[in-house]
Structure 1
Amino acid sequence: MAAASPSSTHLVLIPSFNSGALLAETVRSARAEWNPVWVVVDGSTDGSDCPVQAMAESDPGLRLLRLTRNGGKGAALLHGMEAALAAGFTHALAMDADGQHPAEEIGRMMAASRTKPDAMVLGVPVFGPEAPAIRVKGRRVSNFWTDLETLWSGVGDSLFGFRVYPAAPVVALMHRTRWMRRYDFDAEAAVRLCWLGLKPVNIPVPVRYLSREEGGISHFRYGRDNLLLTGMHTRLMLGFLPRLPLLVWRRLRQRAASRH
C-alpha cells in the first residue's frame, strides 16, 4: 500500500542503471513508505524502467526522469536534485535501486532531516553475515581518510549511499566541479558538505547484499572504483590543507560552545 500523504519538501530519489527486476521491487517498497518517489533512469538499456513507467502512469506519487546516456550515480542524483529544487523540494533521500537499502527506514531518516534541516542525515550500515568481507573491510580505508579530511567531524560511514541531503548545497557544490559524478559521489559529498559547516546526523540501518540468485546486481568494480576513490582522496587532501586553519578554528569554537 503506497504512502498516501505527499511531502512538499522531502522526496526519495532512486538513481538506476540496469538494475533488473529489483528496481520495480525497490520502488514499490519505497512508495509504501514515502510520497513522492522519483526514479532517475541513468541511461539504462535492460528495460528495467518499463514496469516502473507503467506504475507511474497510475501513481501520481511516482515520477521517472531519464538520462539518455549513463553518467554515473552522482550525475543521476544531480539531475534529480536539480529537478527537485525546480519543483520546490528542499531535501532528497538518496536510495540505491538494488534492494540493499531498507525502505522501512525511510520515515526515520526523513524525520531526522525534518528535525535538523540544515544537517545531512547519513545512514551507517549494519552489515549482515552475507556482506563480502572485502567490501566491509575495504571501506575502512575511505572512512579513515574522510575522518582526517573533516577533522573527525562525525561522518559515520563515507560510502553508504542511503542519505538525506539538503539539495541546494549539493547542487551548488557539483556545479563548481566536474567530479562527484560516479562512485566518488558519496564520500566527496560528505567531506565537502562538512567543509561548508553542515553537520552529519548518523543513523544505523541494516544493509543487505543480495546474491545473484536473488537478482543482486553490482556495478562496483574493485580496480576501477578503488582507483577512483584514491584519486578522490588525493584531491580532497589537497583541498583540505588550505582549509585546515578554518576547520581547526571551527572545531575549537564548537568545543567552547559545548562547555557553556
Structure 2
Amino acid sequence: MSQHYCFVIPNYNHTQAVAATVEALQKYAVPIVLVDDGSDYETQTLLEQLAAQYKNLTLFRRPVNGGKGAAVKTGLSLAYDMGMSHAVQIDADGQHDLADIDILMNESKSHPDAMISGQPVYDESISKGRYYGRFITHFWVYIETLSFSIKDSMCGFRVYPLADCMKLMGNQSLGNRMDFDIEIMVRLYWQKVPIRFISTKVLYPPDGVSHFNVCKDNWLISKMHTRLFFGMLVRLPDLLNAKLRSSK
C-alpha cells in the first residue's frame, strides 16, 4: 500500500504560533488540513490569509466550537477523503518541537501499520500541577490496557494510520474535547494497532493560550476512564491472553 502523508492542525483562537507552524511545514511539500474550530473573527481572518498564501493548505471551518477532539476527528476524516494514508497531528499553540517531525514521519514510514506518538520531555515551563496530573491518566491507561506499553496517551504530536482510525470512528463515538487523545489511543490499542513512541521536547510558551477547562475537561476525562475501565472488563480475556503471549 502506498503511503501518503498530510498534516492535521486543529485550531481554536490560536494566533501566536499557527502562522510560523504552517510556514515551517512547507519544507515537507505535503498537504496541510487546518481545522478552524469556531474561532473568533481575528483568528478567522488570519487563517483565511494563510489559506490564500499556501496552496497546499486546506482550511475547513467548523461554525461552532466543538472541542479539540471534534476538530481532530474532522481533520482526520477530511484527510482520509483526500486519499491520505497517514495524518500527522500537530497542535497550533507552539508546544511541539517541529524539528522532530522527520523522526516521527520516518518511524511511521518504517512501521506504516503503527500509530506513532511523541513521548514528552518537559522543561521547567510545565506547571507542577499539569506535570503530576498526567500520572493519574497514565495509571488508568495502564489498567485499561493491562500493559505498560503506552508510554504517554496525552501528547497531541502523533501520526495516525487513517484506515484504522476510520474503522474505529465508524464503530465508536469518541470524545470531542481533551479526552479524545487518550481515548483514541486506548481504543486503537484494543483494536490491535501497534503503538510506538519517540521522545520529543514539549514547551509551554509563557504567552501560550490553553483551552483546557479544569472542571469540564477533568469531568469528561473521568467519565471517559470509567467507560474505558468497563470496556477493559469486557475485553479482559483477550487482554490477558495478549499479555501472556508477550511474556513468553
Under a length normalisation based on structure 2, what TM-score does the superposition of the two structures give? 0.93
Q: What is the distance in 1 between the residues matched to 2:213 and 2:97?
A: 23
Q: What corresponds to 1:72 in structure 2? A: 67
Q: What corresponds to 2:213 in structure 1? A: 221
Gaps of 5+ in 1: 1-6
SS at match of 2:42: coil
- Residue among 178, 183, 189 paired with 2:178: 183
SS at match of 1:13: strand
Q: What is the distance in 2 between the residues matched to 1:86 and 1:192?
A: 22
Q: What corresponds to 1:41 in structure 2? A: 36
Tell me by how many angstroms 1:108 deviates: 1.1
Question: Is the CA contact 1:38–1:63 (under 8 Å) kept in the aligned structure 2?
Answer: yes
- Residue among 143, 150, 153 paired with 1:155: 150
SS at match of 2:173: coil
Q: What corresponds to 2:79 in structure 1? A: 84
Q: What is the distance in 2 between the residues matched to 1:143 and 1:31?
A: 34
Tell me by how many angstroms 1:8 deviates: 6.1
1:121 and 2:116 are equivalent in the alignment: yes
- List, as ranges, runs of 4+ consecutive aligned residues in structure 1 with deviation greater than 4 Å: none
Give the AA of the match of 2:141: T
SS at match of 1:11: strand
Question: Is the CA contact 2:95–2:203 (under 8 Å) kept in the aligned structure 1?
Answer: yes
Map 1:1-260 to 2 at 5 A.
9-33=4-28, 35-212=30-207, 216-256=208-248
Q: What is the distance in 1 between the residues matched to 2:31 and 2:109?
A: 16
Tell me by how many angstroms 1:28 deviates: 1.9
Q: What is the distance in 1 between the residues matched to 2:148 and 2:41?
A: 41
Q: What is the distance in 1 between the residues matched to 2:55 and 2:246?
A: 44
Question: Is the CA contact 1:124–1:160 (under 8 Å) kept in the aligned structure 2?
Answer: yes
Give the paired residue count: 247
Q: What is the distance in 1 between the residues matched to 2:127 and 2:145?
A: 28
Question: Is the CA contact 1:33–1:104 (under 8 Å) kept in the aligned structure 2?
Answer: no
Tell me by how many angstroms 1:123 deviates: 0.4
Tell me by how many angstroms 1:147 deviates: 1.3
Q: What is the distance in 1 between the residues matched to 2:83 and 2:183?
A: 25
Tell me by how many angstroms 1:33 deviates: 4.7
Identity %: 38
Q: 1:26 to 1:232 in 2, by over 3 A?
A: same
Q: What is the distance in 1 between the residues matched to 2:16 and 2:44?
A: 9
RMSD of aligned residue pairs (Cα, Å): 1.7
SS at match of 1:47: helix
Question: Is the CA contact 1:74–1:182 (under 8 Å) kept in the aligned structure 2?
Answer: yes
1:211-245 Cα distance to aligned partner (Å, 9 max, x none): 13xxx110012222111111110110010001010
Give the AA of the match of 1:80: G
